Amino acid sequence: MTQESPVVLVAGSANVDFVVRAPHIPAPGETVLGGAFQTFAGGKGANQAVACARAGGVATHMLLALGEDAFAAPIEASLQSAGVTMHVRRPEGVATGSAFICVDDQAENAITVAPGANACLQDADLPALLGFSHLLMQLEIPLASVHAYALAAKASGLRVVLNAAPAQALPIDLLSAVDVLVVNEGELRTMAGMEGSVAECLARLPCPTVVVTLGARGCVARDGGTYVVQTGFAVQAVDTTGAGDTFCGALVAALAHAQPLTEAMRRASAAAALACTKMGAQSSVPTTQAVTDFLAQTSTHDDSHALADLRQYAGLT
């Protein structure tokens, strides 16, 4: 690795996803007769690493933990296919993480995760940080490890990006080490501890830059005292699984390439939209060229009404 080219390190979870289609997501106590069943490589960390490399076109490494079982192989194959360099820990006697996902006819999903080996990543597992420009993490590995990695990266001069998902209370010194915080709307309100508008919640968080994804509406960021708004791209959604992870990976890759936040959010939004058009998490991540082509096709469309609606929804008007 050299300082001339950006290199992103992702530290996070890797799962095998068991996905079933169903007319709707079951309510408590309800049994639903489903349709097609498939397995995919997944996990927020691995999804984001694939997105960094494939959709973002940036050199990407990943710290992950896998079991010594058959479920580890497809995850490693997927990461390798995307060009991700792996730093794998294999805790003895622990299974590879898994996720059980129901996708309904509206492309929405419900997910239950069994962490398995992901829960075994420790402070000492972090590789040497020389040569990395950014560290990207999520909250599907132990919080103590996320905390330790963030402080180590900050001390080494890396930009720290945290996707605070699943949402939970975070120590103030961890948040103080985060340069860019990425959340969805529910996670934003959990982190802010209030039910106010998007803008009000963004203002309560101490990180220098906070980006909130708002599904098909688009995304909004507070960058210091400035707000950035990006409307969503209309696509025919098939499966939204992994769309948020694709957004995170593509966003960090663009930032690593020194693109301004406005352009990074635009590319990330396009990549996430394209990810919704295919089944699976990592299998749906588009290539850099596909994102570029998609943006070229939509670059002349300036939907001022959608922009005004998004600003109003976020409480910016």
Tens of pLDDT, residues 108-145: 889 898 999 999 999 999 999 999 999 999 999 999 99
Three-state SS at 313: helix
For residue 132, what are the contacts with CB-CB under 8 A and spacing of at least 6? 1, 7, 8, 9, 61, 153, 156, 158
Express as a percent the part of the chain with pLDDT over 70: 97
Q: Which residues share a beta bridge with 231?
A: 218
Confidence of residue 298 (pLDDT cuts 50, 70, 90): confident
109-114 and 37-42 strand pairing: unpaired
Does residue 245 carry a catalytic annotation? yes
Tens of pLDDT, residues 224-280: 999 999 999 989 998 888 899 999 999 999 999 999 999 999 999 999 999 999 988
Q: Which helix (H) or strand (E) holds 143?
A: helix 143-155
Tens of pLDDT, residues 68-104: 999 999 999 999 999 999 999 999 999 999 989 898 9
- Mean of pLDDT over the chain: 94
What is the pLDDT, as a whole number, of residue 299?
Answer: 61
Place of tokens 């990207």: 136
Distance from C-alpha of 258 to C-alpha of 286, rounded to nearest angstrom: 21
Q: Where are the domains of the chain?
A: 7-25+34-313
Tens of pLDDT, residues 175-225: 999 999 999 999 999 999 988 999 999 999 999 999 999 999 999 999 999
* Separation in Å, CA 120 to CA 60, 64, 91: 22, 10, 7
Q: What is the pTM for the complete model shown?
A: 0.92
> Which has the closest alpha carbon to 278: 218, 214, 235?
235
- For 7-25+34-313, CATH number out of 3.90.550.60, 3.40.50.620, 3.30.750.24, 3.40.1190.20 equals 3.40.1190.20
Tokens of 309: 């609606």
Among 104, 239, 245, 309, the active-site one is: 245
Tokens of 201: 């919640």
Contacts 24+ apart (CB under 8 A), 191-196: 191/164, 191/167, 196/315
Whether the predicted pLDDT of 41 surpasses 90: yes
